[in-house]
Structure 1
Amino acid sequence: MCDLKLQTTDYFVSDKNAVMVADRHPQPAFPPHRHDFDELVIVWRGNGVHILNDVPYPITCGDLFYVNAEDCHSYESVNGLELDNILYCRQRFSLACDWDALLPGKHHDQSARYWRLSTPGMTALRQEVDTLAAECMKTDDISLQLSEAQFLRLALLAMRFRHAPDSTVLSDAEQLDLLLMALRASIAAPFRMEPFCRRHQLNPRGLKLLFKQQTGMGVNHYLRQLRLCKAMDLLRHGQETIGEVAALCGYEDSNYFSVVFNQCVGISPRHYRQRFQKSSA
């Protein structure tokens, strides 16, 4: 259910401002809701689960995604999650540019609205967001134009630095990005840290420490979160048996999968599936 709807009048300084920045440091758990504006979301630290139109996504530092007006989304299982919401009203833009190409809209598939930022990309966008946050609080004509121009610059830089979550090619091959991509590719298969580090000539201890500092959780915790989100998606929308779901999510023993799922989600896989089948009936 998505009964809560956030209004532009509650978040924008005036009816002339096209862009606003809402910092969430931290972002608490937030119930399902919609809004009448669009959002560009950048995650700086911590972790959590973002549910967008009934699809769960594990999120952590470096994740960037676009939420369109009328999407239903929520935040769950948050842990030190820090992010910035850049809110924008497309109908208020005055600059003549291809905003639809810059900001994936309602005509783009949901999977095309989730991206990753490298460490240099996060540094570059952090400065832009801070500048925009100060400018968009003003309502004079020059500030309104500067805010939109600053947002255009931010949107262009996001396109320059973003890459697909499962991309196998990185322009700067950052250690954290390499590890996150490897983990995303290991949902159904075992992941072994030592061989991965040898292959990429990385220090296991240093990489684990970096991962913990940036995401707020350990490598195994993040991999478990990825697998559970995949399981939640399959149970909501798929027709696989519980055993098949377990195998697709990297669990050879379906009983152990059920125990882990129950511990983390608070309900068994079977009852979780029944709950969503009933709600969609």
Structure 2
Amino acid sequence: MSLRLFKNDFFLTSMNSVVVAERHPQADFPSHDHDFDELVIVWRGNGLHIWNDIPYPITCGDLFYINSRDRHSYESVNELALDNILFCRERIGLMADWSQLLPGDDVSQEQRYWRLSTLGMSVLRDKVDELAKECMKSEPLSVQLSEALLMQLALLLLRFRQRPDSGALPDAHQLDLLLMALRANIAEPFHLETFCQKHELNPRALRSLFKQHTGMNVSHYLRQLRLCRAMSLLRYGSMTISDVAAECGFDDSNYFSVVFSRACGVSPRDYRQRFIGLGGKTSLSLMTAE
């Protein structure tokens, strides 16, 4: 059963329309929904974001537009830090095209998940901090300023966000390039040295940068991407175990079963059967350490 969160427990007054809930760190949190909407910006660390029963491996730069009808949870977190920007659409008095700035229920879940460039995160960090201070005041002017800052934040998100499976980000930052390459090539072998040679990057420096920002090494992150993809295929598809393994970058289905069982606590076959038996409600547990 999903936990229900209410606006009266988070917003300063009934007049306030936006508030920043800092989660530094974000601990494991059970499945829940709420009677308000929110933006989720991930600053560092890693974990699993289970959003309407779909698992997303998350790390720095991930952006989610979460609506009140959504159900989500956090699992297997490792030094995860994020901000939830909560807002009540019906309270916002500032005139703007909010349906375009902040995607609502008429926008698919796929279109409400984005990636932010490193440059964008730097700009957004200051704006979120400014909003966090202003939204803790209840006088009318502060309420209006908070809404104006929310609009600025939403516009900046439109400027700096990119599709998770896009190629290179405009600033071509090496960490962004690597994250995009990993997400876009789950089914194919990935060689960091070849990637660095192509983009004229230093492999040792990039490994260190990746570890610093995500809390894991490149191979572990890629493994989580592949296992999350495998869980989705096992939950919602009818592919054979061998085909699932191949789709997720494993040449050997037996090796895939060993890796999956070690990470999730059950074999791929048993995972699929347990999911079917429980009507879509399963307990996920991915290891966050090698």
Q: What interval of TM-score do these two structures reach, taking the shorter chain for normalisation? A: over 0.9
C-alpha distance in structure 1 between counterparts of 2:114 and 2:99, whole Å: 17
Q: Which residue does 2:60 correspond to in 1?
A: 61
The answer to whether the 8 Å contact 2:49/2:74 transfers is: yes
After TM superposition, the structure 1 = structure 2 runs for residues 65-214 of structure 1, keeping only pairs within 5 Å, are 65-214=64-213
Unaligned runs of 5+ in 2: 281-290
C-alpha distance in structure 2 between counterparts of 1:231 and 1:141, whole Å: 50
- Give 1:77 shift: 0.9
Unaligned runs of 5+ in 1: none
C-alpha distance in structure 2 between counterparts of 1:105 and 1:15, whole Å: 22
The answer to whether the 8 Å contact 2:42/2:61 transfers is: yes
C-alpha distance in structure 1 between counterparts of 2:202 and 2:259, whole Å: 30
Amino acid at match of 1:131: E
Q: Which residue does 1:218 correspond to in 2?
A: 217
Amino acid at match of 1:129: V
C-alpha distance in structure 1 between counterparts of 2:156 and 2:14, whole Å: 27
Q: Which residue does 2:11 correspond to in 1?
A: 12
C-alpha distance in structure 1 between counterparts of 2:173 and 2:276, whole Å: 41
C-alpha distance in structure 2 between counterparts of 1:131 and 1:25, whole Å: 17
Q: Which residue does 1:49 correspond to in 2?
A: 48
Q: Which residue does 1:261 correspond to in 2?
A: 260
Query: TM-score scaled to structure 2, two decimals?
Result: 0.95
Query: TM-score scaled to structure 1, two decimals?
Result: 0.98
Per-residue CA deviations over 1:176-200 (Å, capped at 9, x if unaligned) read 1100011012211100111111110
After TM superposition, the structure 1 = structure 2 runs for residues 20-35 of structure 1, keeping only pairs within 5 Å, are 20-35=19-34
Q: Tell me the secondary structure at the aligned position of residue 280 of structure 1.
A: coil
Question: What count of residue pairs does the alignment treat as equivalent?
Answer: 280
Q: Which residue does 2:285 correspond to in 1?
A: none
Q: Tell me the secondary structure at the aligned position of residue 137 of structure 1.
A: coil
C-alpha distance in structure 2 between counterparts of 1:72 and 1:118, whole Å: 26
Moved over 6 A (4+): none
C-alpha distance in structure 1 between counterparts of 2:102 and 2:131, whole Å: 17
Amino acid at match of 2:27: P
C-alpha distance in structure 2 between counterparts of 1:124 and 1:214, whole Å: 17
Tell me how large the CA RMSD over aligned residues is: 1.0
Q: Which residue does 1:240 correspond to in 2?
A: 239
- Give 1:280 shift: 2.3
- Give 1:169 shift: 3.9
Q: Tell me the secondary structure at the aligned position of residue 263 of structure 1.
A: helix
Amino acid at match of 1:144: V
The answer to whether the 8 Å contact 2:47/2:59 transfers is: yes
Amino acid at match of 1:189: E
